[in-house]
Amino acid sequence: MTPLQEKAEKVRQFNRFYTRRIGVLHEHLLESEYSLTEVRMLYELASHPTLTSADLCRMLGLNAGYVSRVIGGFEKKGLLAKSRSNEDARATRLKLTDHGRRTFQPLNDASREEVMAMLRQLSEPQQEQLVHAMGQIHGLLGDQATPSYVLRDPRPGDMGWIVHRQGLLYFQEYGWDAEFEALVADIVAKYVQQFDPRSDRCWIAEKDGQVVGSVFVVRQDETTAKLRLLYVDANARGLGIGRRLVDECLRFARQAGYKKMMLWTNSVLVDARRIYEKAGFQLIEEEAHHSFGKDLVGQTWSIDL
């Protein structure tokens, strides 16, 4: 056996071990009526508010005919609704119904709990080692033109990093003074002091072991969530991290029972505004103001969930 064949056998051995470990050889996932692939499609539909059949084929590497059959089954069960795309009349947008989200949520929760149960068997350093190793595998086998990154919950030290990096970046790129850094520090402090896991969430984006982005969701009122402090480091832009962070915010807000999400930004932040527009946010108010040492135009954006 050649050295390459020996390596291939080790990879196959790992594949057999891991598929047994996570239980993906079961005919139906988590004792539900849905297969692993069907649940994965539900996951993507729940995570992205506007997808087409072609998007699902590309994201999951599936045959168009198979995707069409599954979508048809979802539609018959009332899990899925279709609408014409505003951008391309030939494309059909897919969106989970309320029934579809209620069907998917316990599957998603059960899947997460299974993985958490596996991780609880390890110490925290071992958990970090495992997640890092998986990130390396993803990076080596994924699209080389799009280096991998992970989203995770904040750890000690991350909040100070957010204040430091945002204060520095907005000074370097826009000339904003320490007033902005003070604002970020105040938002972060209130998040930590008033944190409620039922209504609030923070994501940290990490690439190659380095923190490269972050975002927050906080409660504005009983029915309204607020997206705050979206940030992506300059050396990690172009990877879709900002879009993914916003998608996660929207997904969490829907699951938390919010009906609307709001955010405040400034017109000079063009890249962020494009992300909000693509996610479905609409500009509802503009107001000139002098802040952070600059004359700016503040903008309020909103999206119905």
- pLDDT in the model for residue 181: 95
CA 176 – CA 270 distance, rounded (Å): 16
- Given 85, 111, 137, which residue is the final one in a domain? 111
Average pLDDT over residues 40-65: 83
Q: What is the domain-level CATH number for residue 41?
A: 1.10.10.10
CA 262 – CA 175 distance, rounded (Å): 26
> Is residue 140 assigned to a domain?
no
CB 130 within 8 A of CB 119: yes
* Count: domains in the chain: 2
What tens digit of pLDDT does each residue of 257-283 get? 999 999 999 999 999 999 999 999 999
Query: Among 14-23, 204-213, 291-300, which is the least confidently predicted range?
Result: 14-23
**299 and 246 together in one domain:** yes
Q: What is the domain-level CATH number for residue 297?
A: 3.40.630.30
Average pLDDT over residues 223-234: 94
- Given 84, 111, 138, which residue is the final one in a domain? 111
What tens digit of pLDDT does each residue of 111-167 get? 888 888 888 988 888 887 887 778 777 767 765 555 568 889 999 999 999 999 999
CA 62 – CA 59 distance, rounded (Å): 8
> Is residue 118 assigned to a domain?
no
**279 and 173 together in one domain:** yes
pLDDT, averaged across the chain: 86
Instruction: Write out the residue range of the structural domain in which residue 223 sits.
Output: 150-304
> Is residue 86 assigned to a domain?
yes
> Is residue 142 assigned to a domain?
no
What's this model's pTM, rounded to 2 decimal places? 0.57
Angle between helices 36-47 and 98-120 (to 10 degrees): 110
